[in-house]
Structure formats: C-alpha cells, structure tokens
A and B are shown apart, each in its own frame.
Chain A
C-alpha cells in the first residue's frame, strides 16, 4: 500500500474510533447516568436519606428541601440543551503525567471508566430553546472537576470555537480548583483561559458563566469569575480559598452561609441566584437579549 492509501486507512480508523467514542455517551438520549456505589445518599442540608434514583429523576434536587446536588456533565447537557442538537467538540485529548506522579495515570483511567468522560470538562455546539450557543460543562465527579492541562486547553478551545462561529458561550463551572498532580502546568491554565475570555469578549460576544456547587480555587480565580453575566445555583460553595484553609489560617469558625451563592449575591459578585428548574428559561432569555438569533 502506498503512503496515501495508508493515510486514508488511518483516517478511516480514526473516524471509527471517534464514532465509538461518541456513541458511548448518552447525549441526545433522555437517559440519566447510572450512579455507582450505593443506592442512597444523605442530603447535606436537611440530613435526610434520599434515594439516588429518585434524586436523579428529580434533576438532582432533594425532594424534601430542594437542595441542589452536584449534577453530572452529561445530565446537565441533556437537561439544558434542546434534545438532538448537541454536537460535542474537542474530542480525543489525552491527559499526560508531566510530573510522573505515582498512580496519577491509573486514577485518570478509573475516573474515565466511572464517569464516561475523557476529562473533567466537555463542550460543544448546542441550542437552548432553539438559540445556538457554545456550551461547556465541568463535571465535579471527575477528580473534583480540577483543571489540568487538558481542561484548560478545552476551555480555551471553547472560546476559540465560539469566536470562529461568532457564538455566545455558556459555561457551567464545578471545580475544586487547579489540578495539583500536574503542578505548574495547571496553574498556567488560569492565565491561558483568562486570555481566551478576553479575546472572545473583544469580539463583542456574550459569555455567561453559571457557578454550581462547588466553584473554588484556580477556576474561581480565572474564567468562572469573568462572565459578562454570572449566575449561580442556590447554596453553591463559591470562593477562592476553601473554607478549611481559611479556618486553619484565621483559627476561628466561619459564619453560617459564608461563601455560599446568596452571600456572594449580597456582596455583589454575582448577578442572580437561579433555581435549577428556571435555569433554562433564564439562559434562553439572556441569549435572546444578545443578538438576533431566532
């Protein structure tokens, strides 16, 4: 076989591989992710035991007190984006181990298997109430949604794709911060993603950042805080330093409700706290206000 023939076969193989990759994920299906490890969990606010399955059917909202549980990225997309419109972009990144941490690669493999994701972030093109946008979602079930090189790269690509297509960006943030295992490379992603937001903003395009539980550390101190409009889900933990670090530093207990969405709303750092059930309507309205999408 000659070189061109070889490359065509390779391309075919790659396409096949990507196809399998996409079909593994239940986008465009009204199916919720299965939750491993135990049938029940304790609601952190009302402290009652809730059935995980009922919980998932109720969009991860506690049936007793309305507490918002962490939502998986794929479920989030199924919930927010119009069905059959989501096209995932930026597939096929491989997470490496730049500092040769023991067990890091194995850990990533395990999370990949459990979450059906290749990293803690997915993005793509989608429509919300028929309004096109680029939508990115972080998954806090994948290593606390921490931002390493791949997450930073994909977030940057989100904005670059949106610049190319002249589309608004919506990002759902859920992250414990930068990924320690990748050391300084994770830290530099803060600068990289912030610069990407600046370039997108310069084109006169809209960026809505939705902060969900938890949004802390390096993600909070970069693209999450740079939205033209910043929304938050009720009672989400949002802050730069984690509550435990602050308690250790100042050596006193933190007040009730500190670093929660409502607290930040009061302090003037977010535009609105939106209940999960209203989120789609609010986002669709905001998209309609910006630009002539029909």
Chain B
C-alpha cells in the first residue's frame, strides 16, 4: 500500500466519524485514526516521498511566499525575450529582513499549471532569475530560492534559446555572488533545472521533498528499460532528504506532519520560516568574501571518489566506501 492509498483510507475513516452517533464509538474510531496516522503514515518508502513531493495538494511556492513575506512584490521578465511564468521572482521582507526571493511555481489548477508550464522553466526563466540575483548583489540583499520543478523544459524553443547555456551561466554567476544564498527544496528537485537556482550557501529541504539527477521513471527506463520499475528506481537513486543529508549535499531537513505537508500547511510554513531565519542569522555574520569562500569550498568538496595515495597503496581500496556501507 503506497502513501496515496493510505491517505484514501484515512479520509474514508474520517468520513465514518460523521455517520456514527454513539460518543463511545466515535472516541474509539478517533483513537484508531490517530494510531493509523502515527504508525502507518510516517513509515515512508522513497517512492512514497516521490508521490508526496508531486502531490496535487502539496503547498506551492506562492503559498510559501505569501506566508513568509506578505508584502512581496513580484518582478517580471528577463529583459531579453519574455517573462517565464514558471519562475517567479521579486522582493519582500521576511521578519523585517529584505530578501530577493526566486521560486519555481507549479500551478494549483490544471489551467494554471498549463500557464506555468508545470514549473518547467525555459531559458528566459533562468535568465530572469539571474537578473534578479545580480540585482540582489548590487543592493547587498540576501537571496532565497525555493525549488519545485520536474526539470528544465525539453522543447524546441528552449533549445533554440540555449537552455544549457542559461543553466551554465546561472551556475557560474551564482558562484561569484557575495550575498547569502539560501535554498529550500519544497517539492521536486529535478536535475540541472533545479540546481540552476540552487547553488547556495545553505541548502534546506522539506522532509518529503526529493532532489535527483533525473526522474525515477527516466532512470528505470534508461537503466532497466522498464518504466514500471520506478518505485525500485526511487529507492536505488537515494533521492530523499535523509539520504542527501547523509551525503552532505543538503544542510538541514525541515520536518513535515504525518502524511505530508498538505495535512498541516500552517505548521510547515512556520517551521520553514524558522529554519530560514536561523540559517540567515548565521550567514549574516559572515562578510561578503567569506560567503563567497564558504559557497565555493562547499561546492568544491562535492563528489564521491578516491585517489591513489601513499597510505592506501596496496591497502584497502576504498575506505570511504566502507564507511557508507556500514551505516
């Protein structure tokens, strides 16, 4: 039973409460529901988390922004081609601190989703993000980015306007910035399309968000030639927040209520705000050049490899490897 089926069962149980008249049996059923929530809905496989990250009811970037920064002003356009609705950017205050906020926005309805291209940005979206980030650098504003995308859009127009070049340019320019960059992965973090706004000093992640090199479906169909093996692929790819924390790719996990963020949005928003402000207060103490070095050193250390050295010559082939396996 995957998490969506469990959710259906929970809703069915909650419906039963209304039909019951007897106070005693209501109490009994409520206890059962609580028990179900605490025990069943918190045991999640990697595939469950993928389903939750893509859940239609999951809070979208705009809802986060509305809570974090009620006075947010949206700024549009890349000044080169057009405005890409799949990425929203602008300025707002979070607890009195002025931030440049950039986020990938999924649509709440089907119509909205089509307008936002299912949060799959075109090059102009990335160029808009870069423009706003360089503006933040000019005015020494911290940057907050919210990631929620299946990936950069693969289409004719996107390729004609240099999707790869736009992502590469973002990565290069973000490495040079001297303001704090905080990234929160709130849903799907799909491949280079997510990383293009996620080159950060600190990377936070919601508990049921995912961050991967490609979709589990893509992985299963390329490596195993079988799309239906996506659940196994999700497990093998190590794309959950806990795996990524183990790998030291992300810095902090923001907890979600049992069953996913949509069960108690308010609490998730509060926790996210607290986590962002905590991180910001730490980063605020660093100077521009320190922030630059912190971000570059962190990135420089990404990788999982070993080199011949005097110590392991003829010894154990790869001791890092062993450490991870034991865990």
B64 in contact (CB, < 8 A): no
Does the CB pair B313–A17 fall under 8 Å?
yes
| Cα-based distance from A187 to B199 in the complex (angstroms) | 12
Does the CB pair A258–B159 fall under 8 Å?
yes
Residue-by-residue, is B227-246 near A (CB-CB < 8 Å gives 1, otherwise 0)? Answer: 00000000011110000100
Does the CB pair B213–A92 fall under 8 Å?
no
A225 in contact (CB, < 8 A): yes
Residue-by-residue, is B123-161 near A (CB-CB < 8 Å gives 1, otherwise 0)? Answer: 000000000000000000000000000001111101111
Smallest CB gap from B176: residue in A = A198
Does the CB pair A93–B306 fall under 8 Å?
yes
Q: Which 6 A-B pairs have the closest CB atoms?
A: A241-B154, A92-B308, A194-B171, A220-B164, A240-B164, A188-B302
| Cα-based distance from A202 to B175 in the complex (angstroms) | 12
Contacts of A190 in B (CB 8 A): 167-168, 171, 192, 195
A95 in contact (CB, < 8 A): yes
| Cα-based distance from A245 to B155 in the complex (angstroms) | 9
Count of interface residues, chain A, beta-carbon cutoff 8 Å: 67
A109 to chain B, nearest CB (A): 12
Smallest CB gap from A178: residue in B = B213
CB-contacts of B158-197 with A (<8 A): 158-165, 167-169, 171-173, 175-176, 191-192, 195-196
Contacts of B213 in A (CB 8 A): 178, 180, 183-184, 186-187, 218
A134 in contact (CB, < 8 A): no
B292 to chain A, nearest CB (A): 10
CB-contacts of A144-179 with B (<8 A): 149-150, 152-153, 156, 178
| Cα-based distance from A99 to B169 in the complex (angstroms) | 29
Given A94-B306, A180-B222, A183-B238: A221 touches B296 (CB 8 Å cut-off): no
| Cα-based distance from A255 to B159 in the complex (angstroms) | 13
Given A195-B296, A241-B163: A221 touches B192 (CB 8 Å cut-off): yes
Q: Which of B28-36, B52-60, B263-271, B317-325 contacts A (4 or more CB under 8 A)?
A: B317-325
Given A184-B249, A186-B213: A14 touches B168 (CB 8 Å cut-off): no
| Cα-based distance from A239 to B213 in the complex (angstroms) | 17
Given A17-B313, A94-B307, A96-B306: A192 touches B300 (CB 8 Å cut-off): yes
B214 in contact (CB, < 8 A): yes
Does the CB pair B308–A225 fall under 8 Å?
no
A197 in contact (CB, < 8 A): yes
Contacts of A18 in B (CB 8 A): 308
Smallest CB gap from B168: residue in A = A225
Does the CB pair A183–B239 fall under 8 Å?
yes
Partner of A93, one of B154, B222, B236, B307: B307
Given A92-B308, A186-B213, A220-B164: A99 touches B192 (CB 8 Å cut-off): no
Residue-by-residue, is B272-302 near A (CB-CB < 8 Å gives 1, otherwise 0)? Answer: 0000000000000000000000001001101
Does the CB pair A223–B168 fall under 8 Å?
yes
A293 in contact (CB, < 8 A): no
B223 in contact (CB, < 8 A): yes
Given A149-B303, A198-B175, A218-B192: A184 touches B159 (CB 8 Å cut-off): no
Does the CB pair A180–B158 fall under 8 Å?
no
B247 in contact (CB, < 8 A): yes
Does the CB pair A191–B302 fall under 8 Å?
yes
| Cα-based distance from A198 to B177 in the complex (angstroms) | 11
B79 to chain A, nearest CB (A): 17
| Cα-based distance from A6 to B303 in the complex (angstroms) | 31
- Can you list 15 A-B contacts with CB-CB less than 8 angstroms, sorted by A residue number? A14-B313, A93-B307, A99-B238, A152-B303, A183-B238, A191-B195, A195-B171, A195-B175, A199-B175, A218-B213, A221-B163, A239-B163, A239-B164, A240-B163, A259-B159
A164 to chain B, nearest CB (A): 15
| Cα-based distance from A197 to B165 in the complex (angstroms) | 14
Contacts of B310 in A (CB 8 A): 7, 10-11, 14
Does the CB pair A184–B164 fall under 8 Å?
no
Does the CB pair B299–A150 fall under 8 Å?
no
A144 to chain B, nearest CB (A): 11
Does the CB pair B154–A180 fall under 8 Å?
no
A78 in contact (CB, < 8 A): no
B211 in contact (CB, < 8 A): yes
Residue-by-residue, is A91-128 near B (CB-CB < 8 Å gives 1, otherwise 0)? Answer: 11111111111000000000000000000000000000
Does the CB pair B238–A94 fall under 8 Å?
no
Given A191-B199, A225-B168, A240-B159, 8 new contacts (CB under 8 A): A95-B305, A98-B238, A153-B305, A182-B304, A185-B247, A188-B195, A191-B299, A246-B159
Contacts of B164 in A (CB 8 A): 220-221, 224-225, 239-240
Partner of A96, one of B158, B222, B238, B304: B304
| Cα-based distance from A194 to B175 in the complex (angstroms) | 8
